[in-house]
Structure 1
Amino acid sequence: MAPPRSRLARRAMLKGITALSATVAAPVLARGADEVLPDTVRPPDVTTNPPRQWGVNAPPVYTPDPDVLVIDRSFRDLLYGNAALHRVWDKGTWLEGPAWSSQGRYLLFSDVVASRQYRYLWETGEVTIFRPESYHANGNTFDYQGRQITCEHFLRRVIRWEHDGSAHVVADKFEGHSLNSPNDVIAHPDGSIWFTDPGYGDNVAEGHADMPGGEANPDGHIRWKIGEELIGTLGGSRRQADHTFRVDATGHLDVVLTQAQLPNPNGLCFSPDFSRLYVISSGKQPGGHGHDGDQAVHVFDLHKEELPLSNPRLFTNMRFEGVQMGPDGMKADVHGNIWCGVSGPVGLCGVFVFNPEGHLIGRIRLPQSVSNLTFGGPKRDWLFMCAGDSLYRLQVNTQGAAPA
């Protein structure tokens, strides 16, 4: 892999991004599980009243679905009025990274904690094990040649599965050091691969914990080599700075957003015309020190030049009814609307939908926080949502913009 380019060329961008960095670096206070919210911001206790039943044996739901909420009339145009939300599977642990394979007609998704990958078969609705050992895979996508690209927390790398079945390592090191835990990944038609590398998987449950001295294991109490024999062959690794990366078609790795510019990067997506890049800055990482994200969505103008991003700005602060929501993954539809999975109190968590100007136009309430989502189905008009241990789906009246 070619050596990374110098980041000195980004001084111009750093100057233009100073105000944004100050905003992003400001800590967001997390609410404790037992904290009592003021009545003015207390969310409803259930998504519907009476409480809705979920699962294959649940009674039919009246349509339009009461948990698909129209805030702006434009959202109604994106909905198929006869569709209802369904929980199609609930045997996971923590589901992430849904991606649709157009050739295979299946939905690929990861169970990060169980270290497995599954696929939802379109023709039958059956969920089968795709890879029994995924090395704590998280984000997935398919490129414009139909090849699967996956972020692996445990091996701290991004890989691409070639058509002959071999695995190609897209990226596993930066400036001679291991990556942290690649989280989300997207493909560009020019052959480049973009991914975020926060430290959310630098722990025992979701990947490969830091060796002693790392941010997630500063005092060395975590016995980081226990449980996975491969750690001995990987060698020691500690968390590095959080970056958002781009790997071009030649395999050249470059930083497009540093930790100073956008800390704790998580989900990311392109606009349909590839003129914008959206990136989520999430909350505090396990063992992290002094670089909380702001739990907001940021947007940048995208260019073909060596300095690919400019005009940094806030897309949405993700505050709703006085509550700071937690955005995770997102996708754009063909009209440029952004569909974002969010965590938060029951009654508020689920999916938020924003128009291209950043205005909230609709919500999908679910009984679990949504980690990530994608559009799938032969016409790409089904929204699949990973939420905790469950997979949900909803037919819509729009289509996903990206290949997966």
Structure 2
Amino acid sequence: MALTAAAQHNLFDTFSKPKLVSDQFAFTEGCSVAKNGDVFFTDQPNDKIWKYEVETGKLSVFLDKAGRSNGTYFDKKGNLITCADEKGELWSVSPKGKVTVLMTSLEGKQMNGPNDIWIDKKGGIYMTDPYYQRDYWTRKITELDGEHVYYLPKGAKTPIKVIGDMRQPNGIVGTPDGKYLYVSDLGAQKTYRYTINSDASLSGKTLLFNQGSDGMTLDERGNIYITGKGVTIYSPEGKKIANIPNTDNWTGNVVFAGKNRDILFITASKCVYVLKMNVRGVE
């Protein structure tokens, strides 16, 4: 069924399977694409950020001792913004690996564990903050009143709550025109679309589909790529189009890579994969 739908939409060659790049990791996450098309991704249990050069296939460690970074996103200056959930912080990592801490707390209280981010045209950061107990934490309970979605204006130190009614927010991505924000409530297995207002607040909450997601990305047709059991693709209207399976238990994140943004890069537990696509990404 999924292959038939994919063939109709011509998103990828349905006879091709994702190609294994490497299986040397503990748990891969947080993949983001640099301006030249290379991919940076995290291996949180091993506390590293890796770089994958798409044109050559070369893998290398970009940053060791990465604050247990999870989700990442590049800003306009080429800095890699990371969800450093060891201490509930947001970091900015320069192309040379210099770390600047952007956010340390919410009014003196530690964040649950910044998980995934998306940066708007103003340089503001939308951030999901679920609570997943880590074995490297000394704390056992949250300091906050729940698991919410926040916005950190450019240059600010304190995030603003913009969504407060989710069970466990996780995957997040916005449209290139800055009109809409997609947010997954992984705990409730639902994904919503919001209208982004001029003051960065959100309105017009709309349920798109009854499936949650760990990581998310978009293609040039506006299709939404979500993760979990493989990569599932939905139309902008919320209709399921296709599923790209893999052999691992969990797919954490996905991004379009390469100089033409037509290589789907997939982080899947101990492995990372690539798949040639017939559409391009827009992140």
Which residue number corresponds to residue 350 of structure 1?
230
Which residue number corresponds to residue 182 of structure 1?
114
> Does structure 2 conserve the Cα–Cα contact (< 8 Å) formed by 1:298 and 1:313?
yes
Equivalence map 1:9-48=2 (5 Å): none
> Does structure 1 conserve the Cα–Cα contact (< 8 Å) formed by 2:109 and 2:144?
no
> Does structure 1 conserve the Cα–Cα contact (< 8 Å) formed by 2:87 and 2:110?
no
Match of 1:328 among 204, 214, 219: 214
Aligned AA (2:149) = T
C-alpha separation in 2, matches of 1:244 and 1:146: 24
Task: Flag structure 1 segments of 5+ consecutive residues without an equivalent.
Answer: 1-66, 216-237, 284-293, 319-325, 343-348
Change (3 A) 1:394 1:378: same
Change (3 A) 1:106 1:170: same
Q: Tell me, what secondary structure is at the counterpart of 1:310?
A: strand
Aligned AA (1:130) = F
Q: How much has 1:310 moved relative to structure 2?
A: 0.9
Q: Is residue 2:155 matched to residue 1:250? A: yes
Change (3 A) 1:209 1:399: farther
Which residue number corresponds to residue 370 of structure 1?
251
> Does structure 2 conserve the Cα–Cα contact (< 8 Å) formed by 1:153 and 1:208?
no
Change (3 A) 1:93 1:163: closer
Aligned AA (1:372) = N
Q: How much has 1:147 moved relative to structure 2?
A: 1.3
> Does structure 2 conserve the Cα–Cα contact (< 8 Å) formed by 1:73 and 1:361?
no
Match of 1:90 among 4, 23, 27: 23
Which residue number corresponds to residue 282 of structure 2?
401
Q: Is residue 2:81 matched to residue 1:149? A: yes
C-alpha separation in 2, matches of 1:164 and 1:91: 24
Change (3 A) 1:87 1:299: same
Aligned AA (2:215) = G
The percentage of counterpart residues that share the same residue type is 28
Q: Is residue 2:214 matched to residue 1:317? A: no
C-alpha separation in 2, matches of 1:304 and 1:80: 40
Q: Is residue 2:134 matched to residue 1:203? A: yes
Aligned AA (1:354) = Y
Aligned length: 281
Q: How much has 1:253 moved relative to structure 2?
A: 2.4
> Does structure 1 conserve the Cα–Cα contact (< 8 Å) formed by 2:2 and 2:241?
no
The root-mean-square deviation of aligned C-alpha atoms, in Å, is 2.1
C-alpha separation in 2, matches of 1:175 and 1:378: 41
Change (3 A) 1:334 1:272: farther
C-alpha separation in 2, matches of 1:149 and 1:129: 17
Which residue number corresponds to residue 51 of structure 1?
none
Which residue number corresponds to residue 180 of structure 2?
276
Change (3 A) 1:129 1:305: closer
C-alpha separation in 1, matches of 2:134 and 2:195: 34
Q: Tell me, what secondary structure is at the counterpart of 1:328?
A: coil
Q: How much has 1:84 moved relative to structure 2?
A: 4.2
Match of 2:268 among 387, 392, 400: 387
Q: Tell me, what secondary structure is at the counterpart of 1:69?
A: helix
C-alpha separation in 1, matches of 2:115 and 2:242: 26
> Does structure 2 conserve the Cα–Cα contact (< 8 Å) formed by 1:156 and 1:181?
yes
Aligned AA (1:305) = D
> Does structure 2 conserve the Cα–Cα contact (< 8 Å) formed by 1:139 and 1:151?
yes
Which residue number corresponds to residue 339 of structure 1?
225
> Does structure 2 conserve the Cα–Cα contact (< 8 Å) formed by 1:199 and 1:239?
no
C-alpha separation in 2, matches of 1:385 and 1:75: 20
C-alpha separation in 2, matches of 1:305 and 1:189: 12
The worse-fitting range, judged by mean Cα deviation, of 112-121 and 78-87 is 78-87
Task: Flag structure 2 segments of 5+ consecutive residues without an equivalent.
Answer: none
Hey, which of these two has a bigger chunk of strand by percent? 2
Which residue number corresponds to residue 233 of structure 1?
none
The worse-fitting range, judged by mean Cα deviation, of 124-133 and 392-401 is 124-133
C-alpha separation in 2, matches of 1:92 and 1:334: 31
